[in-house]
Amino acid sequence: MLSRSAEVHWQGGSHDGKGLIRLGSDSVERAYSYNSRFGDGPGTNPEELVCAALASCFTMALASILERSGHAPRDLTTMASVQLIRNGSGFRLSPISLHTVGIVPGIEDTTFQKMAHEAKRNCPIALALDGVQIQLEAILANKADVAAV
């Protein structure tokens, strides 16, 4: 079984410090800070990384489910968003919104919806986020939409 990892290094206090997030694959290294998390400063933040993890996991799961059913997708694009909300003296995540658009030849919208919801329920990152509500909007692009892409 493959093991995945990330390393974080932080220097300083929570408000004036700075950090560096490095994915174990060495393919991504990003700075983060109080201002990148609670303001609009440069860098990333844990919530953005949660969105990236969920969107990528969900999209791969959906592609797999579609392919196994004989409907290999031509294109899947997923956007995830979440807010960090003050909760008393701490914080929590708002419901995560997933918005996916698929170009999948030969599939009916009801089948696409069913498979998208199955992917949302069963992708490993969604399962790890048990306790965080995940909302899904899945759009099957029609021929007019495909021409615009």
Predicted confidence at residue 51, as pLDDT, reads 96
Predicted confidence at residue 58, as pLDDT, reads 98
Residue-wise pLDDT tens digits, 33-74: 999 999 899 999 999 999 999 999 999 999 999 999 999 999
Over residues 89-93, mean pLDDT: 91
CA 61 vs. chain centroid, Å, equals: 12
Answer whether 136's CB lies under 8 Å from 100's CB. yes
Through-space distance between the first and last CA atoms of the chain, rounded to whole angstroms: 38
Domains, in order of start, for the chain:
1-44 (no CATH), 45-148 (3.30.300.20)
Residue-wise pLDDT tens digits, 9-24: 999 999 999 999 998 8
Q: Has residue 4 got a pLDDT over 70?
A: yes
- Write a three-state SS string for the chain: CCCCCEEEEEECCCCCCEEEEEECCCCCEEEEEHHHHHCCCCCECHHHHHHHHHHHHHHHHHHHHHHHCCCCCCEEEEEEECCEEEECCEEEECCEEEEEEEECCCCCHHHHHHHHHHHHHHCHHHHHCCCCCEEEEEEECCHHHHHHC
Percent of the chain with pLDDT over 70: 95
Considering the chain, what is the average pLDDT of its residues?
A: 92
Predicted confidence at residue 28, as pLDDT, reads 85
Q: Has residue 142 got a pLDDT over 70?
A: no
